[in-house]
Structure 1
């Protein structure tokens, strides 16, 4: 994977969406891991559309249960071990 977007706040959604679209347009392989209240970014329409171009998108399952209790998760639910694996796979990490 060329780039991993590591999202920790919902305020990052507009920037993450723009980066996602740019990475997709350039043919880069990219993924995304959302943690803390950054899982709320999945509720933003622009971000949800941008991640269609991602190779893999996962959320911290604990963060999802804490901040989005009762909502269906539209992406892979995983642990911080998944986060670590994605970081190891990525050539570059962008923390937002």
Structure 2
């Protein structure tokens, strides 16, 4: 994977959405992991559309349960071990 977007803040959606689209348009292999209250970014329709080009998108299960309890999770839920795995696979990490 060329780039991992690591989303920790819901305000990052304003930067992450155009980045995600640019990665996909350029054929960049990329993924996304959301944690802390950054999981709220998954409530943004534009962001959801933009991450459809990711090789893999996952969310911290604990963060989802804490900040989005009662909502269906639209991406893979997992542990921080998935975060570590994605970071190890990425040549570059963009933390927002």
TM-score class normalised by the smaller sequence: over 0.9
Report the counterpart of residue 50 of structure 2 in structure 1: 50
Gapped runs of 5+ residues in structure 2?
Answer: none
4+ residue stretches of structure 1 with deviation over 4 A? Answer: none
Distance, in Å, in 1 between the alignment partners of 2:91 and 2:84 is 13
Report the counterpart of residue 75 of structure 1 in structure 2: 75
Provide Cα deviations, 1:10-42, integer angstroms capped at 9, x if missing partner.
Answer: 000021010000000100000000000000000
The DSSP-based 3-state class of the residue aligned with 1:37 is helix
1:62 paired with 2:66, answer no
Distance, in Å, in 2 between the alignment partners of 1:25 and 1:90 is 18
Gapped runs of 5+ residues in structure 1?
Answer: none
TM-score when normalising by structure 2: 0.99
- Alignment RMSD (CA, Å): 0.4
TM-score when normalising by structure 1: 0.99
